[in-house]
């Protein structure tokens, strides 16, 4: 990839993904029940080889997959992304035994994964986690709650972040791989705006051992941030895909809709609105690609770039979808309309995996850290 465009092979692959989404994934998504895991859809993502690609490709490939699928089938995009988010810590930080047991099942779609970080009192502030991991002589017992967990309570495995050292902030958190059938683990679905399942988890002295630790004890915050640094740009890609779908719908509608003696596109205010939507969408896309490329190259400024990409893209998608609804008028608010669907989908990405305000805090922190570095010092 150059700084400004994709390679022809990447462009062709994106077109292939959009065709697969329209022909094979969209029909399965339409049969799914809102608020529940669509296991046939997850299995089809596995059969098509897209789930295995989550763990064999880089950040840019992940972004291209999420953007392409989101343009046609947001349900397929979300199912793919949640498998990656939930199981990436196993892939990147798990033991050989953990990977051998779970990754084949995740990649063929027979096991559903979830990333359990947020709590009722600790959403974006991951260092404030209160879920306790109390030592019991053979391992730990997990006691507490998780909340706003995608795929809960229907997932088969959870990446769970718990406090193993009290009053130690981010340094006292450990990541655990917790199968859903562990005694003491229960879940409750939450009735949310999002069409995919989101729930709360309750841990009543759930047993875990050293064999369940992901990474090292006390280094769970590193596991969480390493995962989020990869997935934040791809949340931006999801947003760009939705923005592009809304822009395409607006272009088609304003070209054919007659009003005030001609097509809407001939009205200067409409044309300028569409141009602004396209401008912002393309700017967000380029920032997402740049952040993903930086991740793949191992650049030092990935946290800043990832935060910028997620922030710009999700805020842009909100603007573009809202503008498309305005251009369509009341018809866009009818249940089942593409824009009605996107209008509901586009809101949550500005909150999850770090709200927009958190992304601004990360960006500012990274900027000041760089500015305060002595001249000539290289970031490690």
Q: 């991951």: which residue's tokens?
A: 126
117 and 103 fall within a common domain: no
Q: Does the residue 299 lie in any domain?
A: yes
pLDDT for res 4: 66
The band of 380, judged by pLDDT with boundaries at 50, 70 and 90, is very low
pLDDT for res 154: 97
Segment holding 208, helix H or strand E: strand 198-208
CA distance 170 to 338: 41
CA nearest to 307, candidates 350, 243, 244, 348: 350
Average pLDDT value for residue range 359-367: 95
271 and 310 fall within a common domain: yes
Average pLDDT value for residue range 239-268: 94
Instruction: Provide the domain count of the chain.
Output: 3
Q: Does the residue 377 lie in any domain?
A: no
- CATH number for the domain including 171? 2.40.110.10
Average pLDDT value for residue range 35-53: 96
Q: Does the residue 235 lie in any domain?
A: yes
CA nearest to 78, candidates 200, 201, 190, 242: 242
86 and 159 fall within a common domain: no
Last residue of some domain: 218, 243, 275? 218
Answer whether residue 212 shows pLDDT above 70: yes
DSSP 3-state of 299:
coil
Answer whether residue 13 shows pLDDT above 70: yes
CA distance 220 to 128: 13
DSSP 3-state of 100:
helix
Average pLDDT value for residue range 67-72: 98
Q: DSSP readout, 129-180?
A: ---EEEE-SSSEEEEEEEEEEETTTT-SEEEEEEESSTT-GGGGEEEEEEET
Average pLDDT, the chain: 93
% of the chain at pLDDT higher than 70: 96
Average the pLDDT over each of 65-69, 167-171, 295-299, 374-378 and give the range with the smallest value. 374-378
Last residue of some domain: 176, 201, 218? 218
187 and 245 fall within a common domain: no
Please, where are the H alpha helices in the chain?
Answer: 8-20, 26-30, 39-47, 50-53, 59-72, 74-93, 96-107, 220-256, 268-297, 302-328, 338-345, 356-372
Beta bridge partners, 179, equal 157
171 and 195 fall within a common domain: yes
244 and 285 fall within a common domain: yes
319 and 214 fall within a common domain: no
The band of 175, judged by pLDDT with boundaries at 50, 70 and 90, is very high
The band of 82, judged by pLDDT with boundaries at 50, 70 and 90, is very high
pLDDT for res 166: 86
pLDDT for res 375: 59
Q: Among residues 67, 345, 353, 366, which one is catalytic? A: 353
pLDDT for res 260: 86
List the structure tokens of 275. Answer: 């141009």
- CATH number for the domain including 22? 1.10.540.10
> CB 361: neighbour CB atoms within 10 A?
14
Average pLDDT value for residue range 227-248: 95
179 and 284 fall within a common domain: no
148 and 239 fall within a common domain: no
Last residue of some domain: 107, 138, 162? 107
List the structure tokens of 337. Answer: 């309309």
150 and 81 fall within a common domain: no
Q: Does the residue 3 lie in any domain?
A: no
Q: Which domain holds residue 182?
A: 113-218
Task: List pLDDT tens digits, range 91-127.
Answer: 999 999 999 999 999 999 999 999 999 999 877 676 6
Note whether 78 and 32 are within 8 A (CB). no
List the structure tokens of 255. Answer: 């070209």
Phi, psi of 311 (to 5 degrees): -60, -55
Q: Does the residue 129 lie in any domain?
A: yes
- Is 353 catalytic? The answer is yes
132 and 72 fall within a common domain: no
CA distance 10 to 68: 11
Answer whether residue 1 shows pLDDT above 50: no
List the structure tokens of 263. Answer: 């097509």
58 and 165 fall within a common domain: no
Residue 161 CA: distances (Å) to CA of 110, 116, 126, 212, 296: 24, 7, 9, 12, 26
Which residues, at least 6 apart from 1, have a Cβ–Cβ distance to it below 8 Å? Answer: 7, 10, 60, 289, 293
Average pLDDT value for residue range 224-252: 95
pLDDT for res 169: 75
pLDDT for res 126: 65
Task: List pLDDT tens digits, range 143-154.
Answer: 999 999 999 999
Report angle CA 94, 207, 225 to the nearest 5 degrees: 40
Answer whether residue 158 shows pLDDT above 90: yes
Handedness of CA 114, 119, 123, 128 (dihedral sign): negative
């Amino acid at each position: 990839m150059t700084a400004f465009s994709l390679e022809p092979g990447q462009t062709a692959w994106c077109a292939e993904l959009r065709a697969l989404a329209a022909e094979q994934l969209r029909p399965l998504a339409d049969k799914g029940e809102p608020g529940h895991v669509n296991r046939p859809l997850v299995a089809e993502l596995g059969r098509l080889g897209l789930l295995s690609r989550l763990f064999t490709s880089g950040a840019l490939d992940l972004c291209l997959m999420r953007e392409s699928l989101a343009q046609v089938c947001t349900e397929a995009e979300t199912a793919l992304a949640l498998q990656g988010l939930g199981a990436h810590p196993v892939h990147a930080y798990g033991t050989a035994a953990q990977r051998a047991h779970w990754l084949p099942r995740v990649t063929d779609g027979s096991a559903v994964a979830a990333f359990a970080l947020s709590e009722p009192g600790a959403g974006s502030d991951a260092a404030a986690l209160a879920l306790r991991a109390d030592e019991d002589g053979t391992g730990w017992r997990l006691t507490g709650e998780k909340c706003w967990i995608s795929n809960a309570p229907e997932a088969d495995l959870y990446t769970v972040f718990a406090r193993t050292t009290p009053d130690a902030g981010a340094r006292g958190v450990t990541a655990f791989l917790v199968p859903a059938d562990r005694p003491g683990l229960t879940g409750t679905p939450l009735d949310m705006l999002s069409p995919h399942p989101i729930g709360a988890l309750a841990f009543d002295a759930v047993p875990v051992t050293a064999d369940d630790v992901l990474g090292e004890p006390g280094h769970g915050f590193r596991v969480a941030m390493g995962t989020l640094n990869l997935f934040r740009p791809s949340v931006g890609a999801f947003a760009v895909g939705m923005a592009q779908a809304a822009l395409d719908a607006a272009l088609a509608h304003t070209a054919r809709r007659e009003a005030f003696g001609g097509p809407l596109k001939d009205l200067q205010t409409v044309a300028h609105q569409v141009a602004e939507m396209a401008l912002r969408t393309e700017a967000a896309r380029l920032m997402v690609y740049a952040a993903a490329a930086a991740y793949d190259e191992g650049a030092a400024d990935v946290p800043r770039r990832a935060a910028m990409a997620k922030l710009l893209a999700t805020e842009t998608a909100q603007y573009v979808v809202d503008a498309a609804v305005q251009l369509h008028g009341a018809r866009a608010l009818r249940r089942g309309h593409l824009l009605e669907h996107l209008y509901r989908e586009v809101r949550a990405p500005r909150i999850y995996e770090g709200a927009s305000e958190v992304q601004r805090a990360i960006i500012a922190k990274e900027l000041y850290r760089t500015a305060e570095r002595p001249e000539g010092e290289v970031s490690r």
